Structure 1
Amino acid sequence: MSSQRATVLIAGAYSVDLVLTDLRGPVSAGTEVWASGLDMVPGGAFTLAMGLRRLERQAVWAADFGTDVFSREVLAMARREDLDEAGFRHHQRPVRNVTVALSDRQDRAMIAYEDPVTARPLAELIDVFRPAVVMLPFLQFGPDVTDALEVAAQHGARVFMDCQDYPGHIGMPEVRKALGQVDVFAPNESEALRVTGTGTVEEALVLLSSLVPTVVIKQGAAGAIASTNGRRAAQASLTVPIVDTTGAGDCFNVGFVHRWMDGSPLHDCLAAGVACGAAAATGPGSSNALNAAELTTWLTRLPH
């Protein structure tokens, strides 16, 4: 795929998720807990690129890989999923990025490690690939981010930003400035409360909506709520057999952006996000990310 044809630019590191499921007891210091299931699946920004590819979207993923076994595993999976490699950089040293997820049917605990690597500047990536949409997997702010988002605006690119568990709150001027430059901000419920310092999701939605044109708050098994230019929408989820929720939020983002790019109404974007997120939770990591035909089927199952 040439750079001029890239529709979505995804800027973010890969991760290998080592997912241990069906824990036989609570995890605490000084104890050993057995798991009944173990899977190793690619995660991180790989999930966004893979999910969009399965939904037949053109995307370029900017990521770094090294000589280690984890880099090789993700590269092999990326090639099996037929991902565009135009944004890949290869280093002659390990570039490990590993998350161990201890997952049960209620929640998960995660331990992460990454080798330091200087990412390619976001402004440069936007200038080279000229995307229609920029997907940022976590809350980013500061002078370099502000400059990059100005480049995105100059090229007419819209920006979708997740939150993840990254430091920063709206009491910080740089955070407020960055949020004012994105089109969609999509934290989950706990992230929304932390970033805003509010006590309820409704308060968080109102406050974030004063900064960002479209705010989406993911609520896990409860679905999601959103606001765009004063219009509200909500979508309940459906009951599914939970295996692992590690990749569910990223898969939600994929479904939402997939419909958002078509100019679909907010509720339809939420529905696609909830369907993709629910489906992901039925398998380890993002292994059950939906393709286009599967998404159509899952949408018919959602409560109205």
Structure 2
Amino acid sequence: MNTVDLLILGNVNVDLILGPLDEWPQEGTERLVNQMQWRVGGNAGNAALACAALGTRTLTVSTVGDDLPGRWIKEQLPLDMTHWLPSEEPTSVSVAVTHPNGERSFITHLGHLNTLHWTDLKPHLPHCRAVLLAGAFLTPALRAEYPEVLRHFQAQGSQVAVDFGWPDGGFTPEVQAEVREWLPFVHHLLINELEAQHLSRQASTAEALRTLGAQLHPQGTVVIKCGARGVVAQYQGKQYAQSAPTVTVLDSVGAGDTWNAAYLHALLTGREIENALAYAVNVASTAISTQPRVFPPRE
């Protein structure tokens, strides 16, 4: 594949989803839940699944372990949309615990994600119109190489979209400073409300939007995902808001990652920002309210 519309780099792993759990068990005790799913997960993995369903011309490049979860995960994504690099580490697994209020808690073993190195990935990357860098804080080696990664895609003329997730230990001053070094290279900052407020050190979403928008690439767009309230965005000083429809949430794990995929798909197929925001909200809302998940038909 010589060129693709979207390249996805980041945390592709297995998700074990259990719940709902109303309270954590005490040490030495056991609790039973009535729901369980085993599926492709991670910020990058969820986006790759959505892109495959939407028909985005994309390629996901990742390491993977030589074990049962690794062999299984390789069968779940289209062969022509993935390139797997062998890892001596076990395949990463995240346990996602859902709670009755719709919130989730995650416990992750990094495994093969520890071996995601830029020097190994770079020879296998095609030219791309856009790249999604997903789950930076769960890919420590690649995260350390982000300055070089970002310069590479800047030189290539590719638009850079970033959704880094929540750092283990929170947005300390050191993490905030690290991320601020990335932002001038970023064309699409796609984060949730809590991440935006902690990164920007602003108490309100509106102030976070303005603060982060001023730190991006001159043509950059910041999007803050606000759950059931939809999304807000800023592009070239103009702010946008897109509400979300009221749906019965069956499975919210990966909702933001699905949103990312749909938003980038919409932009790459020629939609303007307002239309892209609305399209992505519709796709994500449909995904979280259907089981098994339903995506709009390919365009």
Q: Could you tell me the TM-score, scaled by structure 2's length?
A: 0.86
Instruction: Please tell me whether residue 147 in structure 1 is matched to residue 148 in structure 2.
Output: yes
Corresponding residue number in structure 1 for 2:295 = 290
Instruction: Please tell me whether residue 11 in structure 1 is matched to residue 16 in structure 2.
Output: no
1:120 deviates by 3.4
Matched residue of 1:41: which SS? strand
Which structure 1 residue ranges, 5 or more long, are not aligned? 297-304
1:5 deviates by 2.8
Q: How far apart, CA to CA, are the structure 2 residues paired with 1:221 and 1:9?
A: 28
Corresponding residue number in structure 2 for 1:130 = 127
Deviates more, 1:147-156 or 1:119-128: 119-128
Equivalent residue pairs, number = 285
Deviates more, 1:167-176 or 1:156-165: 167-176
Instruction: Please tell me whether residue 260 in structure 1 is matched to residue 267 in structure 2.
Output: yes
Corresponding residue number in structure 1 for 2:26 = 29
Corresponding residue number in structure 2 for 1:299 = none
Matched residue of 2:77: which SS? helix
Matched residue of 1:33: which SS? coil
Instruction: Please tell me whether residue 184 in structure 1 is matched to residue 180 in structure 2.
Output: no
Corresponding residue number in structure 1 for 2:76 = 77
Q: How far apart, CA to CA, are the structure 1 residues paired with 2:123 and 2:204?
A: 36
- Is the Cα–Cα contact under 8 Å of residues 105 and 243 in structure 1 kept in the other structure? no
Q: How far apart, CA to CA, are the structure 1 residues paired with 2:235 and 2:59?
A: 27
Corresponding residue number in structure 2 for 1:207 = 211
Q: How far apart, CA to CA, are the structure 2 residues paired with 1:127 and 1:184?
A: 24
Q: 1:224 aligns with which of 231, 235, 238?
A: 231
Q: How far apart, CA to CA, are the structure 2 residues paired with 1:218 and 1:169?
A: 21
Corresponding residue number in structure 2 for 1:99 = 94
Q: How far apart, CA to CA, are the structure 2 residues paired with 1:152 and 1:125?
A: 11
- Is the Cα–Cα contact under 8 Å of residues 61 and 121 in structure 2 kept in the other structure? no
- Is the Cα–Cα contact under 8 Å of residues 92 and 111 in structure 2 kept in the other structure? yes
Q: Percent identity?
A: 24
Q: 1:26 to 1:10 in 2, by over 3 A?
A: same
Give the letter aligned to residue 89 of structure 1: L
- Is the Cα–Cα contact under 8 Å of residues 48 and 250 in structure 1 kept in the other structure? yes
Matched residue of 2:165: which SS? coil
Q: 2:38 aligns with which of 15, 37, 40?
A: 40
Q: How far apart, CA to CA, are the structure 1 residues paired with 2:146 and 2:54?
A: 28
Q: How far apart, CA to CA, are the structure 1 residues paired with 2:49 and 2:242?
A: 24
Q: 1:195 aligns with which of 194, 199, 202?
A: 199
CA RMSD of aligned residues (A): 2.5
Q: 1:151 to 1:289 in 2, by over 3 A?
A: farther
Matched residue of 2:47: which SS? helix
1:118 deviates by 2.2
Q: How far apart, CA to CA, are the structure 1 residues paired with 2:255 and 2:143?
A: 28
Q: 1:127 to 1:173 in 2, by over 3 A?
A: farther
Q: 1:67 to 1:143 in 2, by over 3 A?
A: closer
Matched residue of 1:10: which SS? strand
Deviates more, 1:275-284 or 1:224-233: 275-284
Give the letter aligned to residue 119 of structure 1: L
Corresponding residue number in structure 1 for 2:61 = 62
- Is the Cα–Cα contact under 8 Å of residues 21 and 35 in structure 1 kept in the other structure? yes
- Is the Cα–Cα contact under 8 Å of residues 132 and 158 in structure 1 kept in the other structure? yes
Which structure 2 residue ranges, 5 or more long, are not aligned? none
Matched residue of 1:271: which SS? helix
Matched residue of 2:180: which SS? helix
Q: 1:38 to 1:65 in 2, by over 3 A?
A: same
Corresponding residue number in structure 2 for 1:300 = none
Matched residue of 1:199: which SS? coil
Q: 1:143 to 1:33 in 2, by over 3 A?
A: closer
1:289 deviates by 5.1
